[in-house]
Every structure is written in structure tokens, then in C-alpha cells.
């Protein structure tokens, strides 16, 4: 009877243990459901308990709750509890959120203290320069600026000149959940429109649509109205600077006649008396080929403004020759300046990896002036712009027009070559020891120079192999 009595109590104890386990499981699921629900509001901080509430068990039952494995992120809305950090001050509508101030170098400490948000005031024209070595975070910072402009300035259209096929990835969400949570952000994808020459889209179409089926593809053509002397030189292959004075009168006749078409351009070339008949024939033949290939022709920009997206001009350096890259860079500058001037549309323009387009600067001053005109002439046309490069001295002419500078880490040779653009010797010393994704931020309008930890992009960025 005694043995039977002991056995009769075991099923009751087992049922109590099963009920306790079920209660722990339900509380854990309720906690995760609260996380998922609260994360739907992007502007509200998460309040997450790192452990489920403790459950009181009967004292007579000698049973310990096992250590449950940590919950893995099952959706983009889940973040590590220890990574959540509240902001110090609210961010105004015209302030772009770029990261967190780590150390103040120069300026008034009561204006921006350590651990406060690093922001850029875009209520006035902003022209930003990003200088840093490969892998230091230049493209990530450019994406951060693009995201902030897209979210904060709803009336400003974004145009990016991309030669590394980086910005089409903004159509996907980031996978860096925990690091984003440290800055109070959640992953986000953005609408992307890729604009490229027909032969580029033909080769990259499958790859682009694999990133996101929602990416819009648009054929890029050089419109007849945008042809000028440097563009005509690169189109026809006569890039020698000595021929520019002979082509200039023909372009003046072309613009004065107002007949912006294939026929009108041929008539203008025939009117150039200083050009030999052989050169004229070669130019006209080259133009005929470009018309058949779809590179030259009418281009209606109004289709771009029907739906606001991030417009990426894809000019891949791996596929095109140096002459073609420079041609499209000059055309890009002419295109965005004309949009801002004729259409009266405020723009934000990104010229990433400007080294690829500035190589001709020492040989062809006209190319340098055309590309740099986004900075030098953009202020009057309501163009905010950012230029990124790892060879600073090639863009030294635009430095007087810069309002905000970001100096990321450098290799030793680049530090020496680019030292002319730095405001002080002390800043150069700070840059040399910077970790990745940190920058010396120089805001000339607020008289602040600080070391800033750049926030990660909310859209997808390929993971780095080394930290």
C-alpha cells in the first residue's frame, strides 16, 4: 500500500510540472509578441526584457526550470535587448541624422556634447565632401545621406552616379539588426529606379531584378538638347583638347538654330569651316551609329518625376572604357543641372567614387570643370550634392564650395597627397587612427569638428569580411 501510495502521487506532480512549463512558454511568447507589436512603430523606443518573468513553482516539487536557449531573431523587427539605446535630443525636420558624436575636437561643447546625435542642417544649400580609403565606409555614409534625404526632404529628387553597382541594393532591407538598434533604427528598403544605357541594362537586367522585382529599369539616352562641346567630343572619339576650339562654333550654331535633332546636329557640323571634311565625315558616321544603338535620341525626363524614387545612373566601371565612363559623368552633370534650372526641381546629387571620373582632370580641364560644376554652380540651382573619393587632390578645386566634410581613415600615401584639403594638422592626426565607419566631421557653418560614429544604412549593404 505504501508503494502504491507513492506511485499515485507521481502523475499529479508531473501534471503540475507540465503546467508550469506551459506557463513559462506562454509568458515567453507573450513577451516576443509585445516586441513584435511595439516594433511596428518606428519612432517609439523598444522596451524589451532580456529574460521572461520568473514563475513561482510549488515548494514541494523539486524541479528546476532549465536554461532556455536565447531566442534567435525570427523577423527584421527583433533586436538584441542590450543594443537598444535612446537618443539624447529630438531631431528637427531639416536635420539629417548621420550618427553619434564620439569626441569633440573643436567647437563649442554646449552646442554638441559627446554622445549626442550628429546631424546636418539642410535648410540651406549643402555641399558635402567625403574622403577616405577603400573599405573605410564612404559608400555607407553616402547611403545614409541618401536615406535621410529621401525620408526627410519629400520634395527633393535624388540622382546617383554609380559605377560599382552599389546603390541598386538599396531596394533590399539591411540584415544588420543589432547595430541598427543601437542607433534607434529599423531596417528599411527603398524604391529604386535604375537608369542606364541600353547595352548596360541588357547585361545587368537579370542581376538587378534578382535584387528586387520592384526595381524599375529605364533606358538612358543622351537627349539632343543636352549636347555640348565636351559631350560631342566624347561621343565622336575626338577628345584631343586642340579640337575643342573648332567644335565650339559648330555647337553654338546648333544651339542658336534651335533644331535639336539628328539632322540639326549634322547641319551644325557641316557649318564648322575649321574642321576638315575627313573629320566631319568621321563624326557624322559615329553619330549615326550611336543613334542606331539607342544612345542618342529623345529622352523625356518627366517620366522620372511621375513617381518619386531613388534614381541610380548605373555606369559600371568594370564594363565600360575610361572614355565612356567620362562621357556619362559629363552628361550626368549636364543632365542634373538642366533639370534643376529648366524644370525648377530641387535635387540631391551623389557622385560616388569620383576618382574614376576625375582621372582626366590633369589632361582635360573642361572635363574637370563640367563634373565639378555640380558643386560650383549647384548652389544657384537648388542642388545639394555629395562627392566621395579616395584621392582627394583631384577634387581640390571644389573644396572652397564645401559646407560639410567627412574625413575617414586613410592609407599613409593618401594622407600626404590629400593634405591640402584638411583644415588643420590636428585633424590629420585624428584621421590616421580612426576605426572603420568613423569619420572626422567638419561642419564649417556651425564651427564644429568632431569624431563621429557613422550610423549604418537601413538598406542592404554587403557584409564586410573584416571588422
Judgement on whether residues 122 and 165 belong to the same structural domain of the protein: yes
Judgement on whether residues 50 and 129 belong to the same structural domain of the protein: no
Total domain count for the chain? 3
C-alpha cell at 268: 551644325
User: 127-170 pLDDT, tens per residue?
Assistant: 999 988 877 889 999 999 999 999 998 889 999 999 989 999 99
In a domain, 322, yes or no: yes
pLDDT at 71 over 50: no
In a domain, 465, yes or no: no
CB count in 10 Å sphere of residue 271: 15
pLDDT in the model for residue 358 = 62
| Structural element, H or E, at residue 278 | helix 277-292
Closest CA to 442 of 460, 425, 459, 422: 422
What DSSP string describes 377-391?
TGGGGTEEEEEEES-
Distance of CA 149 to the CA centre of its chain: 10
Judgement on whether residues 194 and 235 belong to the same structural domain of the protein: no
pLDDT at 234 over 70: yes
The parent domain of residue 6 ranges over 2-83
Cα distance between residue 283 and residue 304, in whole Å: 31
**Position with higher pLDDT, 188 vs 410:** 188
Report, as an integer, the average pLDDT of 333-353.
Answer: 91
Q: What is the DSSP letter of 58?
A: P
Cα distance between residue 187 and residue 286, in whole Å: 47
Percent of the chain with pLDDT over 70: 71
User: 282-303 pLDDT, tens per residue?
Assistant: 999 999 999 999 999 999 888 8
Judgement on whether residues 187 and 312 belong to the same structural domain of the protein: yes
Closest CA to 265 of 294, 285, 245, 238: 285
* CATH classification at residue 181: 3.40.50.300
pLDDT in the model for residue 96 = 94
Cα distance between residue 445 and residue 141, in whole Å: 20
pLDDT in the model for residue 37 = 44
In a domain, 466, yes or no: no
Judgement on whether residues 317 and 420 belong to the same structural domain of the protein: yes
C-alpha cell at 419: 593634405
Our CA angle for 294, 269, 259, nearest 5°, is 65
**Position with higher pLDDT, 322 vs 15:** 322
Query: By CB neighbour count within 10 A (0-12 exposed, 13-18 middle, 19+ buried), where does 276 fall?
Result: exposed
User: 87-97 pLDDT, tens per residue?
Assistant: 545 576 789 99
Judgement on whether residues 318 and 422 belong to the same structural domain of the protein: yes
Q: What is the mean pLDDT of the chain?
A: 79
Report, as an integer, the average pLDDT of 439-444.
Answer: 89
Judgement on whether residues 104 and 18 belong to the same structural domain of the protein: no
In a domain, 464, yes or no: no
**What b-and-e string marks burial along 171-185, b requiring 16 or more CB atoms within 10 Å of the CB?**
bbbbebbeebbbbbb
Judgement on whether residues 216 and 313 belong to the same structural domain of the protein: yes
pLDDT at 73 over 80: no
H-type alpha helices, 39-152: 138-152
Judgement on whether residues 243 and 366 belong to the same structural domain of the protein: no
pLDDT in the model for residue 1 = 42
Distance of CA 221 to the CA centre of its chain: 24
Judgement on whether residues 418 and 399 belong to the same structural domain of the protein: yes
H-type alpha helices, 339-364: 355-358
User: For residue 405, what are the β-bridge partners?
Assistant: 129, 442
**Position with higher pLDDT, 374 vs 43:** 374
In a domain, 130, yes or no: yes
Cα distance between residue 440 and residue 434, in whole Å: 8
User: 172-191 pLDDT, tens per residue?
Assistant: 999 999 999 999 899 999 99
Amino acid at each position: 500500500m505504501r508503494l502504491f501510495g507513492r506511485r499515485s502521487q507521481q502523475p499529479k506532480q508531473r501534471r503540475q510540472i507540465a503546467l508550469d512549463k506551459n506557463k513559462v512558454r506562454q509568458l515567453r511568447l507573450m513577451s516576443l509578441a509585445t516586441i513584435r507589436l511595439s516594433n511596428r512603430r518606428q519612432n517609439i523606443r523598444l522596451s524589451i526584457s532580456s529574460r521572461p518573468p520568473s514563475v513561482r513553482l510549488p515548494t514541494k516539487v523539486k524541479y528546476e526550470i532549465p536554461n532556455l536557449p536565447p531566442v534567435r531573431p525570427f523577423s527584421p523587427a527583433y533586436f538584441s535587448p542590450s543594443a537598444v539605446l535612446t537618443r539624447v535630443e529630438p531631431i528637427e525636420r531639416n536635420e539629417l541624422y548621420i550618427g553619434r558624436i564620439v569626441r569633440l575636437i573643436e567647437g563649442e561643447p554646449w552646442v554638441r556634447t559627446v554622445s549626442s546625435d550628429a546631424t546636418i542642417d539642410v535648410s540651406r544649400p549643402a555641399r558635402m565632401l567625403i574622403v577616405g580609403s577603400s573599405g573605410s565606409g564612404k559608400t555607407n555614409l553616402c547611403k545614409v545621406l541618401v536615406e535621410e534625404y529621401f525620408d526627410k526632404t519629400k520634395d527633393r529628387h535624388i540622382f546617383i552616379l554609380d559605377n560599382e553597382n552599389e546603390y541598386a541594393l538599396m531596394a533590399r532591407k539591411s540584415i544588420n539588426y543589432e547595430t541598427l538598434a543601437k542607433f534607434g533604427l529599423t531596417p528599411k528598403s527603398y524604391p529604386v529606379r535604375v537608369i542606364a544605357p541600353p547595352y548596360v541594362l541588357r547585361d545587368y537586367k537579370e542581376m538587378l531584378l534578382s535584387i528586387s522585382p520592384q526595381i524599375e529599369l529605364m533606358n538612358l539616352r543622351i537627349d539632343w538638347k543636352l549636347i555640348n562641346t565636351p559631350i560631342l567630343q566624347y561621343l565622336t572619339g575626338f577628345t584631343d583638347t586642340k579640337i575643342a576650339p573648332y567644335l565650339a562654333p559648330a555647337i553654338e550654331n546648333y544651339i542658336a538654330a534651335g533644331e535639336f535633332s539628328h539632322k540639326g546636329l549634322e547641319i551644325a557640323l557641316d557649318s564648322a569651316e575649321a574642321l576638315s571634311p575627313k573629320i566631319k565625315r568621321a563624326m557624322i558616321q559615329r553619330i549615326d551609329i550611336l543613334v542606331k544603338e539607342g544612345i542618342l535620341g529623345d529622352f523625356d525626363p518627366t517620366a522620372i518625376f511621375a513617381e518619386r524614387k531613388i534614381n541610380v545612373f548605373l555606369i559600371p566601371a568594370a564594363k565600360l572604357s575610361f572614355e565612356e565612363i567620362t562621357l556619362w559623368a559629363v552628361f550626368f552633370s549636364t543632365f542634373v543641372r538642366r533639370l534643376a534650372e529648366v524644370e525648377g526641381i530641387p535635387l540631391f546629387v551623389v557622385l560616388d567614387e569620383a576618382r574614376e571620373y576625375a582621372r582626366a582632370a590633369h589632361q582635360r580641364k573642361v572635363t574637370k570643370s563640367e563634373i565639378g560644376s555640380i558643386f560650383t554652380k549647384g548652389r544657384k540651382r537648388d542642388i545639394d550634392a555629395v562627392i566621395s573619393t579616395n584621392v582627394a587632390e583631384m577634387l581640390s578645386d571644389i573644396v572652397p564650395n564645401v559646407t560639410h566634410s567627412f574625413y575617414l581613415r586613410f592609407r599613409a600615401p593618401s594622407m600626404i597627397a590629400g593634405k591640402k584639403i584638411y583644415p588643420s594638422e590636428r585633424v590629420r592626426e585624428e584621421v590616421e587612427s580612426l576605426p572603420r565607419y568613423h569619420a572626422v566631421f567638419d561642419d564649417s557653418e556651425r564651427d564644429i569638428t568632431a569624431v563621429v560614429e557613422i550610423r549604418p544604412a537601413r538598406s542592404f549593404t554587403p557584409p564586410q569580411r573584416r571588422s
